[in-house]
Structure 1
Amino acid sequence: MPTPERTTSAAIVAAGREVLEAAGPSGLTMHAVAIRVGVRAPSLYKRVRDRDALVAAVAESVVDELSAELERVEQDDARPGKVDDLLTGLATTYRAFARAHPEGFRLMFTASVPLSSLDRAAGPVLRASAARVGQDDALEAARLLTAWMTGFLQMELAGAFRLGGDVDLAFDYGLSHLLKGLDG
């Protein structure tokens, strides 16, 4: 097995994300990550204090990836007068991310995530919300949008939409009506 010096913090976090998606939060153990990076579990402690620190690092990595994706949408779709298109792009990206990383998405809503990471992830939605409703109501609008999207996605990921119908159409319907509702 490689020596701990050959194992980087980045490799440990990447392995942690792989383990999380494959085995869920209970499977995200120091032992499972050590096996994935090719070292013995005690060697990880030279890079990661304990399991809580491992979970926090994985959670931060997940949120940072989502932040980068949302910021790309914001930069690519920042057209004056097209704020609803930007908000739709952000929502669609948020949903795609949740579907691609369901366990990481769920982990984002735990106390393990550093507040600074959450602040970065909120930036694009806050700025788009401010452009849509004004600075005074931006935080409330961003919270409304994020809460609706997160609730929808938590239900979707859990397979809770069992009454039939097209879930994609339901997402589009909900988002379009929510955006119209921002008109006050």
Structure 2
Amino acid sequence: MPTPERTTLPAIVAAARDLLEEGGPTKVSMQAVAERVGVRAPSLYKRVRDRDALLQLVAEATVDDLGTALAASDHTLAGLARAYRSFAHTHPEGFRHLYASSPDLAPLQRASAPVLQAAREAVGEQRALDAARFVTAWATGFVSMELAGAFRLGGDVDAAFEYGLTQLQAALRRS
């Protein structure tokens, strides 16, 4: 008689994501994930090749969740940037992990679809990819600095973010 399943791949990935958010990538170990899902570490290897593969699955699940958050926005470039920022604040370690890993292309394409569509509407088909990269790069830089505590000169960071969005929109209208 086969041994009953005591955990699933989605449960393993969810546990790894929770551990990542609790303490960064160093907290994600096969042993810690196994304890979290209630099995012994060797049992994980039935579902996941190794820690690197697990971290890859975490990145892909995070991209999928980011895509869901972006799809739920108002689909303007400003709304998408706000949703992106909100996602990063809700999942700061997952957000950082996205840029420290290389998720598969398919989840990235799904997640970026709303941004590309909004960019098409803002600047047209010919420059849509450039505009999407411009907005994403600015938002990623801003949010990464914000999460790192780099804005220490005072002032209202939320207002600065909105100012940046206004300037981006004006620049794209001029292009």
Q: TM-score, normalised by structure 2?
A: 0.95
Offset at 1:112? 3.6
Cα distance in 2 for residues equivalent to 1:112 and 1:18:
20
Over aligned residue pairs, what C-alpha RMSD do you find? 1.2
Structure 2 gap ranges (5+): none
Label 1:147 to 1:62 Cα distance change in 2 as closer, same or farther (>3 A).
Answer: same
Q: Which residue of 2 aligns with 1:89?
A: 79
Q: Could you tell me the percent identity over the aligned residues? A: 60
Cα distance in 1 for residues equivalent to 2:7 and 2:84:
31
- For residues 18-37 of structure 1, give each alpha carbon's deviation from its aligned partner in whole angstroms, at most 9, with x where no partner exists: 00000101111111111110
The list of structure 1 runs, each at least 4 consecutive aligned residues, that deviate by more than 2 angstroms after superposition, is none
Cα distance in 2 for residues equivalent to 1:112 and 1:15:
20
Cα distance in 2 for residues equivalent to 1:108 and 1:127:
22
Contact 2:16-2:28 at 8 Å conserved across structures = yes
Contact 2:59-2:101 at 8 Å conserved across structures = no
Offset at 1:139? 0.3
Contact 2:21-2:93 at 8 Å conserved across structures = yes
Cα distance in 2 for residues equivalent to 1:70 and 1:160:
25
Offset at 1:90? 0.8
Cα distance in 2 for residues equivalent to 1:124 and 1:37:
34
Aligned length: 172
Establish whether residue 117 from structure 1 lines up as the match of residue 129 from structure 2: no
Cα distance in 1 for residues equivalent to 2:29 and 2:23:
10
Cα distance in 1 for residues equivalent to 2:4 and 2:13:
14
Contact 1:4-1:44 at 8 Å conserved across structures = no
Q: Which residue of 1 aligns with 2:5?
A: 5
Cα distance in 2 for residues equivalent to 1:110 and 1:119:
18
- For residues 42-83 of structure 1, give each alpha carbon's deviation from its aligned partner in whole angstroms, at most 9, with x where no partner exists: 11000111011100111111110010111122xxx36xxxxx
Structure 1 gap ranges (5+): 79-85
Q: TM-score, normalised by structure 1?
A: 0.90
Q: Which residue of 1 aligns with 2:135?
A: 145
- For residues 147-175 of structure 1, give each alpha carbon's deviation from its aligned partner in whole angstroms, at most 9, with x where no partner exists: 00000000000000011100000000001
